[in-house]
Amino acid sequence: MRIIQLVVVMLFAGIGVSVAQSKKGTLVTAKISTPTVQCEQCKNRIERYLKQETGVAYSKVDYKKKLTTVKFYSDRTNIENVKTAIANAGYDADNVTANTESYDRLPLCCKKPEDGGGHPDKH
């Protein structure tokens, strides 16, 4: 009887270890072109938005280079979800166009120059 109990305990312990390991997933680093990012406010808005995205471990927006670096767990999200999250914040991300409603809610300084925004000399 003790042998059966020992086998059952070992079986459950083994399952617990494999579940814990699979939750971690692979950390992937991606660089996403964000051409509509204009200023520090844009940077803060995207980084704050991505903190809420499941699976995103890190994000850094360089508004001068118009580039966003994101680290995410591949078992929880993917690059398309990350781009969609940026678009939902109101910004273009590579080939994904900004969500129109979100873009309309951005402050004027965060909008595209053709829409009257993006005055780099004021930032």
Residue 5 domain flag? no
Residue 28 domain flag? yes
Give the per-residue pLDDT at 11: 46
Residue with tokens 């402050």: 107
Residue 62: give its domain's CATH number.
Answer: 3.30.70.100
- Sequential DSSP letters for 32-99: EE-TT--SHHHHHHHHHHHHTSTTEEEEEEETTTTEEEEEEETTT--HHHHHHHHHHTT--BTTBPPP
Residuewise pLDDT in 10s, the chain (123 residues): 555 554 445 544 444 434 444 456 899 999 999 999 999 999 999 999 999 999 999 999 999 999 999 999 999 999 999 999 999 999 999 999 999 999 999 999 999 988 888 755 544
Q: What are 85-110's pLDDT values in tens digits? A: 999 999 999 999 999 999 999 999 99
Residue 2 domain flag? no
Which domain, by its residues, includes 70?
A: 24-106
Residue 113 domain flag? no
Residue 3 domain flag? no
Residue 9 domain flag? no
Residue 95 domain flag? yes
Residue 1 domain flag? no
Query: 10 Å Cβ neighbour count for 61?
Result: 24
When divided into structural domains, the chain yields a total of 1
